[in-house]
Structure 1
């Protein structure tokens, strides 16, 4: 069964990245089910913010995993993406921060301040093999961290990358 993945991103700047991500397939060659709230932005200034937030939160809650595309624009979040990030930060929902830089851990140069402390997230570069690994493993890892009341910014160890790529490249 395909995993349901909610993706938070800046629609004005990172739509192309989302489209590339939506082409990723699981290890069996199946497409993931990606969800986002890009179409909800049309409702801003037309309906109360609370109604939009409710729709966003429902989309997130219905997913198996949430991904935040972390870019320079995400760092200076505006209202719409900020709602998504804050909801994820304050929930126990499995969250992966997908760096648009090649850094394999937290990229503090582009990470929104709201995610620097008090959140629980896995940070990975935008690489399909690593993404597959995150989708397959982070929800269970996240659950264990939540049970232990552990928060923080996590990354895969270097040996994971060595096993995926057979190299000793470091961050």
Structure 2
């Protein structure tokens, strides 16, 4: 599957102009993509959330999940624009009550994410939103968690894909035909 929709060039330019590169953060050799200037610009942030909300509506999402932590910042306003519910996917141990958990592998070790067991159910069509697609492990785990809840995956949308980390193939396989969109590929 390829990107579900073409990203207008003016939107791409607007978003790229507001993403700052920070060298050697959080460790030497890493070029961090800082989205805080984009979030601070009301016009750019609105354009971003409207584009993601249109993707949610086009693909029939009834809920939007945001991945901790920057995915929350994007997914909540997308849910409002799209007129659907928002569900946070949190790191293990951060949610009270009954949860569903999914373990996934990191470069050095493993981690676990959770959702409230009652937040998703059969009949829900869920769009996953995150800021960055890197290696795809977190996105892949979230898709499995959604399916285990009984909900259907409506797709995955990210602000930017770091192409050099090759996460796209991993998530396309995990999406199993559901649509994928990266507004920016870097």
**TM tier, smaller:** 0.3 to 0.5
TM-score, with length taken from structure 1: 0.43
Larger fraction in strand: 2
TM-score, with length taken from structure 2: 0.40
